Amino acid sequence: MVDSLGSDLSLLFSDWSAPLSPVDNGRLLDFIRVLLEWNVRINVTGARERSDVVGEHFPDSLALFSLVPAGSRLVDVGSGGGLPAIPFAILRPDCQVTLVEPRAKRVAFLKTAVRVCKCSNVLVVRQRMEDCESHSFDVASSRATFPPLEWLASARELVVPGGRTIVLSTVEVSPRPSGLLLIGHLNYKTRNGSVRWAGSYCST
C-alpha cells in the first residue's frame, strides 16, 4: 500500500511540476497515516482511503505551494484536519505556518500531526479568527470555512498591508471585491475530476 501511495504522490507532484524529496514523501505518508487513524474517532476528514487524501485533498496543498511567496508567515483559519495547511508546511519549510482552530479535539489532532510529521515551522493555536492578532501575517488562507466573499472581507484584518489572501474554491470569485487585486490564480482538478480554483488577492 505504501509503495502504491508513494507512486500516487510522485505522479501528482510530477503533474504539478513540484519537487518531492524522499524525506518529504515519507512525512506526507506519515501525515496520511495519522489523519486516517484519528478520523476513525473524531471525523477530521471526509476522506476514508489513503488514495483519496492524495487525489482529492493534496492538490489544494499544491495550490498553496504555488501561490504563497517565499518566506511568508501564513495563517490558516479553521484548520480542522490539517488540509491543506500541514502538507503545505511540510513542502515549504521556508514559511512559518500558524494553524487556527477553535475545536479542542481537532486541536489535539493537529498537534499530534505536527509532532509526528516533525513540522518545526508550524504553530497550532486554539482560538477563533476574531481573536487572532490583527495584521500579523503575510498570507491568510482558509478552506471551506467561510463563503469566499466573506473570507476575503474578514482576512483583511489578519494580513499586513500588501499581504495576500488565498481563496480555495470550486469557481472563481465573482464579482471581484472592490479594493482587492487578483494577482495570481490556478484552475485545476482533483483525481476524480472535481473542478477547483485558487486565487491570491492583495489590497490595492
- How much is the average pLDDT of 78-85? 96
Lowest-confidence range among 62-71, 112-121, 144-153? 144-153
CA–CA separation, 187 vs 47, rounded Å?
22
Cβ proximity of 100 and 123 under 8 Å: no
% of the chain at pLDDT higher than 70 = 98
Please tell me the predicted confidence (pLDDT) of residue 155: 95
Give the cell for residue 114.
Answer: 505536527
- How much is the average pLDDT of 96-124? 97
Q: Considering only the top CATH level, what class is 2-203?
A: alpha beta
88 has pLDDT over 80:
yes
pLDDT tens-digit profile of 150-170? Answer: 999 999 999 999 999 999 999
DSSP notation for 95-160: SEEEEE---HHHHHHHHHHHHHTT-TTEEEE-S-GGGSPTT-EEEEEEESSS-HHHHHHHHTTTEE
Q: pTM of the prediction?
A: 0.95
CA–CA separation, 24 vs 27, rounded Å?
5
pLDDT band at 1 (very low <50, low <70, confident <90, very high): very low
Q: Which residues pair with 188 in a beta bridge?
A: 196
Place of cell 487585486: 181
Cβ proximity of 107 and 124 under 8 Å: yes
* Sequence ranges of the domains in the chain: 2-203
In this structure, which amino acid lies at residue 58? F
CA–CA separation, 122 vs 98, rounded Å?
6
